[in-house]
Every structure is written in C-alpha cells, then in structure tokens.
Structure 1
Amino acid sequence: MLTDVLTQLAQVLQLPQQWHAVFLLGCNMLLAIAVVTVCFLLSRAWLRPVLAQVLDKLDGRLTDETARERRKLASHMAHLVPALVLQAVSPLLFNQAEHFAVVLGIIVWLYLYLFIGLAISAAITLIAKGYAYLAPNPTIPYQGISQLLKLLTFIVFSILIISTALDRSPTLLLSGLGALTAVLLLVFKDAILGFVASIQIAVNNMVNVGDWIEMPKYGADGDVLEIALTTVKVRNWDNTITTIPTYALISDSFKNWRGMQQSGGRRIKRAINIDIGTIRFIKADELEQLQQRRRLQTFFQQQDVLDLLASDDVTNIALFRFYVQWVLRRHEKINQQMTLMVRQLQSTEVGLPVEIYCFSADKNWLNYEAIQADIFDKLFAILPVFDLAAFQRISSRQELPAKH
C-alpha cells in the first residue's frame, strides 16, 4: 500500500520513470529514519525512569550514585529498540530493492551486536557500582569479575560482528582462534593471572578494599582503593597512588594492617638506650630522698616496688623499669587488656636498651603518635631523677673530656 501511494505521488510530481525507483527508495529511507528516531527518543525517555525506580527500591542511595551509569545503560538499550523495529519493517519498506534490503539487514545486525555488547558491559558496570555502595568492604573481587565479564563480552560480540560482516559462521573464527591459543595466552596473560589472583585473594580473604597494606617493593604504603582484574590501586599516606599488579599480592609478600585495625589497640614498641656508665646501686639515703618526691610518692606505695626495696641491692635501672611499668599501668590511653611489659634487650655499643612494649587504645595515627610522644617525653625527663642518662654520641657542641 505504501509503495502504491509513493508511486502515485511520483506521478503527480511528474518525475521521469527512471527516477521512480530512486524516489521510492529515498522516501522509504526518510520514513525509516523518522521511525528510528522516534523509537530511540521514546525508549530512552522511558528506560531512564524505569531503571531509576528499580534502583530506588533496592537502595535509595543508588539512584544518585549511579546516575552516570544509568544514563549510559539507558542510552545503549535505547539504541536496540529502533534497530529491532527497523529490522522488522525493512522487508516492507524496501521490498522493491532486495540488494539494498540485504545490505541494510547486515548493517542492522552489526549495529545490534555492537549495542547489545555495550548494553551488557554497561549493565555489568552498573551492577559493580551498585555493589560497591551496598558492600563498602567486599570480600568478593567484584572489580576483577566485572572486568573479566566485560572482556568476555567484548570477545564474543567481536567474533559475531566479524563473522556477520564476512558472512561466515562464527565457528570458523573460533576454530581459527583455537590455533592461536598460545598467542591469546600471551596477550591475555595479565588478565588470566589477575583473575586467578583475585579468586585466591577472595577465598583467603587476604586483602579488601579499605585495608592498609605495606609493600616496600612497589613503594606502596596506604589504603587499598580498588582491586581490579589486573591492578590494585593503593593511596599512599602522601596521597600518591601506587598501582600494583594483582598477581603480585600472591607471588610477593606484603604486610596487611587489618589485624591491627580490628584489634583493641596499636602497638607501641620503642626503646630508650640507657648509658651503661650511669647504672649503679642506690644507697639508703638516696631511696629516702626519692620517696619524698611528690611525683614519686604514689609510685613507692606499690606492692611490687615495696618488694623490690626489701632487697639490699636495689639498682637505679631496676627502679626505673618498675616506674615505667607503673606509668603505663596508670595511663588511661593504654589498653590494659593487651600485652604490656618493660624489658631489657641485649646491651650494645650504644647502651642498654630498655624497651616499652604495649598497645595504644586509640588506633588513629595522629592520636597514636601523640600518645607515644607524651609517654617518652616524660620518661626522658624523669631519667635524671633516677641518676640515669640516655646514651648520646658526643656532638660538636659538647666539650670533650680533658686528657690526663
């Protein structure tokens, strides 16, 4: 019917007979373009609110956070509707131009394959983005899995597009790819290793997004931002970004501070090197003077200290160790439920190390450093009270001992 109407219109316009076929083809093409445009605009306008409503039912945050991904998915899906409509009406519009209809059918199929692949890839991205907000600290390597799925989608639809353009069966291309297995393994080596590593990382719960990891070989020391198929992004404490191969987390060693973050405290492990020449026994009159000091009166009332003073050979270093342990036991920002001790290490050429081993209850980096500094400030200041001195190499500003 449409062909008859257009033929009559050509006659009314008094077009030459040889131009009738061109006129019909041109009118049909304009009509096809109009139908395709209307279908595209209507489908995109309808799909966007539908996707937004579905995501809003899952989680209200996803509607705003995935706006860009939703627009991209709706746009790709909107391209499919007019292509399917054109594929359905092309036999009716171009029944007088069989060769053109065949070529147009191939072009439409290529178009469909392209945007089906893009739509699937956009849907995978949307799901991964939504999962990232629903599970901020995931145990599943969704980034690696999503990238692998998008890679497989790209390969499958590339084969379909090439086979359609060449008018050959996809099985022929697949058989050719089988002969190039070694080349494919070489090309996709990083992707394959990364996928295997992602599975091992997820199964063993080795690293999660948000973990603080330290990997000196790659200059990484900070929080994990993303675990992808081939790379892991780490934001260092100086705000630089370090990219590590995913497989390196399996093949190389690294330190994960998650255990500290999940525990009740952050370890303080630092020593004061005591000058061995200042270590000596304390006389009875010196003990009486120490007990009269306001700062030490409560300390000398402790049972452990009383037991120590009951012996005849009290040293200033022993008394200092008991004092440090007493200070730590009374410190409100030290976790008293975790290991707490003050110990001597092997003496060296730089003195006798007296090490503090305890855990700060506050794990925040700034607060942790402040707590640690406050403790050692006071300990260095109290050393002369016990007639002790920290070892320090002679500097150019100190007077050298006189030669005899």
Structure 2
Amino acid sequence: MSAPSRAAAPASPAGYRRVFAVPEFRAVFAAHVLSMLGVIVSEIALSVLVYDLTRSPLLSALTFALGFLPYAVGGTLLAPVADRFPARRVLVVCDAVCAGCVALMAAPGTSIGVLLALRCCLAVVAPVFSGTRMATLADVLGDGDLFVLGRSLLRIVAQSALLVGYGLGGLLLTVVAPRHALLITVDTFLASAALLRLGTRRRPARTDRRTDAPSGLRRLLGRPRVRVLLLVFWLPAAFSVVPEALAAPYADDLGGGSTGLGLLMCALPVGTVAGELAAGARLAPATRERIALPLLCATLLPYLGYALRPGLTASLLLLLLSGAGSAYTLGLDQWFVRAVPEELRGRAMTVLSAGLMTVQGVGMALAGVAAQVVGVRTAVAGAGAAGVLCCCGLALAARATESRDGAAPHMTGR
C-alpha cells in the first residue's frame, strides 16, 4: 500500500482507526510494543541482577541512570545515521545491536563493569532508533494528520508500557532469574527486528552519505523555527518530571506507603494517555493546533497546588490534570514535521528524542537537589511556577516564528 498523500491535513479528525488501516504502521506499532517491553523488562532485570551481584543500592540505581545519560552522546554523534542510510536497515540493525547487548548481559560471569558498559550501549543506540522510527512514520503515513495520530499512538504505548511493563517485569522476576528474564527480552528485540524487516518497505536514504556534510545538524539548528520547537518539546519536560522524581519521599510524607507511591507514579502517565486519546479522537487537526499553545501554558499550572499541602487524592487529581494538558504535543508534532526539511527529518527526530531524555534526567537530578534544600512540596510548586513562566515564554517564541515553517500564521491545519 502506498504512503498516504502529503496533501494538507483534513479539517475533521482522521481517527486512530484510519492509522491502523495502514499495514506498514501496524508493523511499526507492533515492533514498538515489543521493543518497549523489552527495554522495560531488561531495565528491571538488570537492576535486580546488579543488586544481587553487588548488594549495592547505588550501583543498582546507576543502571537506571545510565538509561538517560548517554542519550545526548548518541543523539549528537549518531544523528546523521538516521538520514544517511535506509531507514529500515537502521531500525533492524539497532534492534539487532540491542539484542546482542542484552544477550551478553545474560551470559554467566559477565562482570559489573561490562554490564554497565552494555547498558550504556543500549542508551546510545536508543535515540537513533527512536528518531529513525519517527521519521519513518512520516514516510508511512504522510506528514499530515495521520502522522500526528501515529506519533501519538506510539507515545501512548510508551506511557502505557511504563504502567504495565514494570508490573509485568516484577511478576516475571518472581518466576524466573534475572538472567533468564534478560534472555526473554532478547527475543522481543529480535521479533521487533523481524517485524520491521518484513512489514515495512525498503526506502532509500534521505541524503547521500558521500555528499552529506557534517554541517547537516548545523543547518537544522540554524533554523529559528526548529530551535524554538525543540525547546518547546524539551523544557516543559524538565519541569514535568519533578513530581515523579520526588514521588517516594512525597508518598512517605503523606503516609501513603507503597500503595500511595504506586498511585502517584501512575497518575501522570494516566492523565497523559487520557489527554492524548481525547485530543486525537475528538478534535480536528486545526483545533489541536489552535489549542496547543494555551495547553502548553496551562499544563504545569496544577503543580502550584502542591503549595496548598494537598492530601493523596487531591495530589492525584493535580497530576492527572497536568498529564492531560500534555495533549499540546499533538499540535506541536504537526508544526515540527512541517518545519523540518525532509532530508533532515531523521536526524531532527533523533536530536529531539535524545534531548528529551537528557533534559528529563537533568530535571530529575535537580528536583532531588531542590527537595533536599526546600522540601518536596515547595520543590514541586516551585517547578510549577518556573515551568509556567518558561512555557509562556516559549509560547510567545513559537507564535513569533509560526510563519517560518512553510505555513502562514493562523492557518494551521489547513
């Protein structure tokens, strides 16, 4: 089946069912589910394995931190790979590399240093895979409303996988040893590679690696509209992770125990999934773009409620509201794909993915520092206040550059 037309987006919602009507997207979607479950289960299993071998909480926690830190390296150094080679080849090779790394982790006798190094390798490859997959969506679905809904579905899977995957991973480790759990994730990566190899068409590289100069990234970041949109994706995320980073001490302050902690960790992803589903299924493309900036300015406002010392129920409602506000990303996705030249799309998505993970890691670290100084509630409320001001400034910058993505001002969605 040929890719959908790149004509202007329709005036009414395309609906998620129309996205699933595209056979190639079904393959990409299924591969995404498998790879996400593989990543989550491998993170849990590796963390438990490292703790079993060292009895060190620090090294166990470090295995999670290493999932964030190398993203910037991979996203910066390897971003051109997403455009200089055929996308299907890049995706399959990335899955194969992940399967190989996890297989080595599962090998008996693998030292702690090697385990952590392999964890870094997974994190370096991840932004290239994610960026290439997102760029491939535009090839498969066109760069109109179907692309926005397809990207939304992949985000929803990622949020849902966090909710389901950690629970399933924990249950799995009650039945099998961590190394055996890692072997299961090898199969998920290989199955993802097979789906992408057999279920998607081969397309040529977007640029010729013999003539594509290293200035490709400079050319991308030299576009004011692209720079602003990247910041709109990144900076709110640095503030939004603060309640999740501080969920454990906050649950302890509330006396909620492990149940309260679990609910606090789930509330933001549940709100995000609900907001994206509602916006994607109910709103027309033009409407989603029209409300993007107001939602951007409002999404962190609920964090200010932490200053009122809410109980567990009220805190959950605040997090649900904030998560629902992240539906602004549907409009933002359309602006971004419109602003980026097609030949730079793969590296643009790679840089976007790498930056997003990096700022979230930084945000979590700074949240811990702030909570140590001023307390958990003040840290969350302060993140909300600073975040709202930052988002309002970003909204003004996005409005000022809106005519630079190839569309006239106030003509979004047509």
Question: TM-score, length-normalised on structure 2?
Answer: 0.26
Q: Which protein is bigger by CA-based radius of gyration?
A: 1
Higher percent of residues as strand = 1
Greater relative contact order: 1 or 2 (C-alpha under 8 angstroms, separation 6 or more)? 2
TM-score by length of structure 1 reads 0.27
